[in-house]
Amino acid sequence: MAKHKISVTINGAVREAEVESRLLLVHLIRENFRMTGTHVGCDTSHCGACTVHLDGQPVKSCTVLAVQADGAKITTVEGLEQGGKLHPVQEGFHEKHGLQCGFCTPGMLMTTSALLERNKNPTEQEIRQAISGNLCRCTGYVNIIKAVQYAAEKMR
Amino acid sequence: MIPASFDYHRPGTLDEAVKLLSSYGDECKVLSGGMSLLPMLKLRLASYAHLVDIGRIQGLEYIKEEGGFLKIGAMTRQATLERSDLIRSKVPILADAVSLIADPLVRNRGTIGGNVANGDPGNDQPAIMLALGATLVARGPKGERSIAANQFYKGLYETALARNEILTEIRIPVPPARSGGAYAKLKRKTGDFAVAAAAVQLTLNAKGAIERVAIGLTNAALTPVEASDAAKFLTGKMPDDKTIVEASKMAAVKSSPSADRRGSVEYKKEMARVLTERALRKAVQRAGGK
């Protein structure tokens, strides 16, 4: 089986790798690039813990082949913070206690940061819909909603 | 979970893709958004020696109105359909369905072509294609051919597409005045397939009677089901309460679901009836009837 030389821009840095066809994007990120902020949860494209931005769109990286991302721009949770300053959603999750165990958090942050790029003033319903592909088993989502509302206000 | 080994191909043109499919035959599968295929490969429910990724072929991602048809490129993402005003205004039945498919993250990758051509009866868009009387355009070694949606589904994961054909476009006749459509779906949770779902598209005449109607059912058998008896019964009749109730019963009779964790056969048939009734009422209302 032939290997593929791929190149991606991840959190602003160009990285190259030689990958098997079947390597999943989440494993490229975690194992090849050693960036473990992106989590593997269910591994069946349900839970959303592996969410990253692929060319600006939040996607489940356990269900994308690394080779499909060749040439793409990827942002992971490590790329949200800019110049030592937390992204407003990160600050919101901190301020409003939007997590308990923290396992779903990287995915939640990636999905909600993408939502706020597209919609500066989401309603509670729109936030709930946006995170309907991200499962949290601790919080009951209440504080996650508050965290996103906090971030939205901060970004306006 | 890691899929079994395969070779990945990324053709730049449709012709190149068709050539690859022709040379690898049964060992080969088209990769579109990958939202059904990759989980199947990871769970090892399927394996192919070759995947042909059509994701980088230019000109397969569009929604346009042309010559009385709404033409949708096969690589058009579900999220793009969801945000399209053209879809919402011309075929609300499709807008109803898209936001019920999987979840928003999956819809950023998943494509209408994949949903339609996959051949899984749990996919939502096949039943809608039946209701809309859509035409599916495929490209193969001999060029392009059109297949009516009601001739497309042959069995579980079996469609009219040959091994070396690729679905490229979906053509939906733009519904005339006094038309309405609706999709009613019951699912246990976000991301789940339908327990049952019904797609209804109809046109009323000037007197308010049903001039044309088609009904498609999701997850009601090994293929999407067209409830043609119910449609025939409805044609020419005023869409009153009694008629809608009777037609819904007839549609449910056509469903032959199997029992699984989503429910018993009896329950699923009953849900097919209820959802057909709801979709019929909403379609009539959208068509401007009562």
pLDDT score for A1:
67
User: What are the structure tokens assigned to B153, written together?
Assistant: 């589904």
pLDDT score for A130:
97
pLDDT score for A42:
95
| Across B244-248, average pLDDT | 98
pLDDT over threshold 90, residue B102:
yes
User: What are the structure tokens assigned to B61, written together?
Assistant: 């991602």
DSSP H helices, chain B, are: 14-24, 37-42, 78-82, 85-90, 92-98, 104-107, 112-117, 125-132, 228-234, 241-253, 265-286
| Across B25-35, average pLDDT | 96
For B33, the closest chain A residue by CA position comes to A64
Report pTM.
0.96
pLDDT score for A108:
98
Put simply, the chain A residues between 7 and 36 with a CB less than 8 A from any chain B CB are 20-22, 24
Question: Rounded distance, CA B9 to CA B11, Å?
Answer: 6
Using 50, 70 and 90 to split pLDDT, how confident is the model at A134? very high
pLDDT tens digits for range B37-63: 999 999 999 999 999 999 999 999 999
**Nearest-CA distance from A84 to chain B in Å?**
28
Using 50, 70 and 90 to split pLDDT, how confident is the model at B284? very high
By the 10 Å C-beta count (0-12 exposed, 13-18 middle, 19+ buried), B173 is classed as: middle
pLDDT over threshold 80, residue B173:
yes
**B124: which strand partners?**
none
| Across B164-185, average pLDDT | 98
pLDDT over threshold 90, residue B9:
yes
pLDDT score for A6:
98
Give the one of B34, B39, B103 whose C-beta lies nearest to A132's C-beta.
B103
pLDDT tens digits for range A26-78: 999 999 999 999 999 999 999 999 999 999 999 999 999 999 999 999 999 99
- CB-based contact (8 Å) between A122 and chain B? no
pLDDT score for A2:
81
Contacts of A128 in chain B (CB under 8 A): none
For B38, the closest chain A residue by CA position comes to A63
Top residue of B105, B106, B107 to mutate, by most chain A CBs within 10 Å, is B105
**A68: which strand partners?**
none
The total of other beta-carbon atoms located within 10 Å of residue B12's CB is 10
pLDDT over threshold 80, residue B290:
no
Asked whether the beta carbons of residue B108 and residue A59 sit closer than 8 angstroms, the reply is yes
- CB-based contact (8 Å) between A128 and chain B? no
Kindly provide the ipTM of the predicted complex, given to two decimals. Answer: 0.97
pLDDT over threshold 70, residue B197:
yes
Per-chain mean pLDDT for chain B? 97
For B110, the closest chain A residue by CA position comes to A59
DSSP H helices, chain A, are: 25-27, 88-95, 105-118, 124-130, 142-155
Using 50, 70 and 90 to split pLDDT, how confident is the model at B289? confident
Contacts of B7 in chain A (CB under 8 A): 1-2, 21
Contacts of A65 in chain B (CB under 8 A): 8, 34, 38
